[in-house]
């Protein structure tokens, strides 16, 4: 007697039938239950560099879904507000460490890193400090103490710092509204010494300069590169540059790519530091976030992460989204209430933007 096998899909059951010609036919039927697809990697699992998110203490404490999303998808956090000078330095002799301590401990407890943002920012000097009308010597002495105390407190815990933030206005001139320009004849020299103070307080921390529109604004980028050249000549320590990447679906991608390549020519670590992608670019009250708009946003995220992956491995520091969910984004207040710039929707579901980001990673 011979045997014939007729196979239907995956082996799951056998049915034998007798045939008149003394052959035995074996029917092999497929199981109706499909094989479970592999679980898709999260951003932090796929990336070979840190994936960060800007967070707020009140959201981590107040909503378990928010906290769970941060832990699930990200490997690094940045304080959205709580580690800026105005939040910590409440008077000449008093520091408020509550929120900063919480975030540093949260990162440690969840096996994450924390990026310190930011030590010096023209828009975050406390009122008491600005009203004191210090001359350049007293001003710098106070700032040195502040940097030494803050970086020293978190030595070995905060792995990196934005030492200075938004020094340059659009086009590359020094900011006219900055008190630093008023106090110092050589503001760039002052900023360089601030990097020295941070390095002295924690020799192992990576030190960054951070700004917005860097890859789009050739004048600002030129000013930053000149500052880096001067820092290196003077021996001021700087490890990396951050571009905030508050861009939009209609941001010109070739301009972005050209500027990004130019920025990377410094050889420093590169941080996409505050990434979100606006979709309601016309600030329309009737705007609808359609599937087509979501797909455009996804393609923009994919382009940016693919572009970042083209960097030499030793220049990749992190990509940080400025927020976690569309439910809590600064842009609904700053830009327009109908704005959906992040990777997770209001219910913490992955948007097409998340898939685009993921697809751009190697």
Catalytic hit among 113, 274, 299, 339: 274
What values do phi and psi take at 29, rounded to 5?
-95, 150
Q: Active-site residue among 80, 140, 166, 339?
A: 166
Rounded Cα gap, residues 315 and 325, in angstroms: 28
Q: Which residues contact 218 (CB under 8 A, 6 or more apart)?
A: 259, 262
CA torsion sign, 145 to 146 to 149 to 154?
Answer: negative
Residue 274 annotated in active site: yes
CA proximity to 181, closest of 196, 195, 166: 166
32: annotated active-site residue: no
Element housing 77 (H / E): strand 76-79
- For the chain, what is the total number of helices (H) and then of strands (E)? 14, 14
Question: Which of 48, 52, 41, 83 shows the shortest CA–CA distance to 321?
Answer: 52
**Strands (E) located in 152-304:** 160-165, 206-211, 240-243, 246-248, 269-278
Residues with catalytic annotation? 166, 274
């Amino acid at each position: 007697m011979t045997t014939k096998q007729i196979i239907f899909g995956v082996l799951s059951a056998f049915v034998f039938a007798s045939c008149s010609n003394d052959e035995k036919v074996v029917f092999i039927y497929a199981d109706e239950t499909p094989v479970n697809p592999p679980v898709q990697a999260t951003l932090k699992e796929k990336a070979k560099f840190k994936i960060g998110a800007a967070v707020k203490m009140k959201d981590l404490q107040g909503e378990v879904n928010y906290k769970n999303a941060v832990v699930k998808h990200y490997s690094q956090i940045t304080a959205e507000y709580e580690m800026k000078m105005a939040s910590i330095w409440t008077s000449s002799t008093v520091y408020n460490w509550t929120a900063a301590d919480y975030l540093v401990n949260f990162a440690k407890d969840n096996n994450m890193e924390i990026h310190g943002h930011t030590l010096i920012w023209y828009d975050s000097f406390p009122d008491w400090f600005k009203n004191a009308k210090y001359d350049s010597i007293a001003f710098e002495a106070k700032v040195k103490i502040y940097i030494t105390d803050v970086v020293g407190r978190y030595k070995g815990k905060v792995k990196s710092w934005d030492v200075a933030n938004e020094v340059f206005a659009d086009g590359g001139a020094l900011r006219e509204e900055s008190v630093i320009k008023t106090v110092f004849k050589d503001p760039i020299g002052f900023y360089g010494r601030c990097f020295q103070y941070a390095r002295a307080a924690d020799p192992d921390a990576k030190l960054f300069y951070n700004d917005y529109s860097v890859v789009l604004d050739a004048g600002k980028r030129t000013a930053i590169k000149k500052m880096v050249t001067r820092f290196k000549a003077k021996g001021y320590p700087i490890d990396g540059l951050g571009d905030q990447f508050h861009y939009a679906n209609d941001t010109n991608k070739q301009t972005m790519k050209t500027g990004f390549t130019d920025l990377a020519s410094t050889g420093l670590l590169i941080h996409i530091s505050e990434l979100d992608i606006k979709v309601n670019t016309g600030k329309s009250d009737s705007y609808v976030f359609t599937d087509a708009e979501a797909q455009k946003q996804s393609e923009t995220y994919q382009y940016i992460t693919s572009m970042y992956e083209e960097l030499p491995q030793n220049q990749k520091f992190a990509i940080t989204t400025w927020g976690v969910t569309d439910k809590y984004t600064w842009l609904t207040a700053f830009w327009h209430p109908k704005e959906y710039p992040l990777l997770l929707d209001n219910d913490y579901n992955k948007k097409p933007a998340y898939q685009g980001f993921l697809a751009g990673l190697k």
